[in-house]
Amino acid sequence: MSSITTLDAQGQSLLALLVARLPSAKPANPQTFIGYKQAHDLLGLPQLRERFGDSLKAQGLVSLAEWTHETGKPAITGLVIDRESLMPGPGYFQLFGRQPEDFTWWRGEIEKSKSFDWSPFLPQEPVPEPPLAIDIDCPTGREEVTIYRIIRDTLLARQVKQLHNYQCQLCGHTIVLPDGSRYAEAHHVQPLGTPHDGPDVWENIVCVCPNHHAELDYGVRALNHTDLRLAEGHTVGSRFLSYHNTKIYKVLSSPAENGEA
């Protein structure tokens, strides 16, 4: 087998999905891993073979496994399992020269994967420039109002969006771009930076469409667990929701509380 030093696009997409899964994966509990079909569905892949495992192998799983083996990285593909046996396929162990069902080694590779810095190898998601507004000329003149919002696209934010398949957690909407890729935005529930100083952690991020992102930024809607569409492996922390509802929503949505009459 020739040396593989560059990971192909499908392998990168699968790697991004698995890295997004790592925070909730418990090495001793395969129930917290991801099944072949679930990975297949989250990546939006066509089913090329009768078995989802075989289909996924042809669309990134083999290339990712071989790349980690050839470059000496943790065997992160052990996160992808058969939901009935709760095991990766036998090829996973064979590739790395391990005995079938070497549980100690498998668990160790997941532990190493959780502490490894995968960020240099993840696909860089381009953030599309917002389209220019097309104004209708008006003979009576017009007033230009420009509003700037910071859209923070951290590594964790990209992972949350990928886990939710770029679907808004409030309405389920996604924007499909002309090249077929999906677009959504990540909102830090307790905002980053001064004066809020929210942390950049999974539990403080929601995947939303631009409309709902603006509503949350400007505090015109509350945010509760019952509002949010769920994805396995991602939950939003109650303390961050409480912060939004008491410090962002109630303050910004009430002019009286801002000292305005």
SS3 content of the chain, % helix, strand, coil (to 5): 45, 10, 50
Q: How far is CA 57 from the centre of its chain?
A: 21
Domain residues of the chain, as ranges? 9-115, 155-258
- Which amino acid type is present at position 86? L
pLDDT of residue 175: 93
The dihedral region occupied by 83, where left means phi > 0, alpha psi between -120 and 50, and beta the remainder, is alpha
pLDDT of residue 226: 94
Mapped onto helix, strand or coil, the DSSP state of residue 120 is helix
Give the mean model confidence (pLDDT) for residues 234-261: 76
Q: Which of 101, 35, 91, 24 is nearest to 64 (CA)?
A: 91
Supply the pTM of this predicted model. Answer: 0.55
Listed range (102-106, 160-164, 192-196, 226-230) with the worst mean pLDDT:
192-196
DSSP string covering 201-225, please? SGGGEEEE-HHHHHHHHTT-S---G
Distance CA 139, CA 161 (A): 44
Angle between helices 155-163 and 9-21 (to 10 degrees): 100
DSSP string covering 167-205, please? --TTT---EEPTTS-EE-EEEESS-SSTTT----SGGGE
Give the mean model confidence (pLDDT) for residues 129-157: 50
Q: Are strands 185-188 and 175-176 parallel, antiparallel or unpaired?
A: unpaired
Contact call for residues 35 and 81 (beta carbons, < 8 A): yes
Listed range (67-71, 155-159, 235-239) with the worst mean pLDDT:
155-159
Which residue has tokens 């569409």?
229
Mean pLDDT across the chain: 83
Phi, psi of 231 (to 5 degrees): -135, 135
pLDDT in tens, 159-169: 888 889 899 99
Burial letters 124-151, b for 16+ CB under 10 A, else e: ebeeeeeeeeeeeeeeeeeeeeeeeeee
Question: Is a pLDDT exceeding 60 seen at residue 106?
Answer: yes
Model confidence at 192, in pLDDT bands (50, 70, 90)? confident
Handedness of CA 99, 103, 109, 112 (dihedral sign): negative
Please report the beta strands in the chain, taking only residues with DSSP state E, as ranges in sequence order.
Answer: 34-35, 80-81, 175-176, 182-183, 185-188, 205-208
Distance CA 227, CA 145 (A): 31
Mapped onto helix, strand or coil, the DSSP state of residue 26 is strand
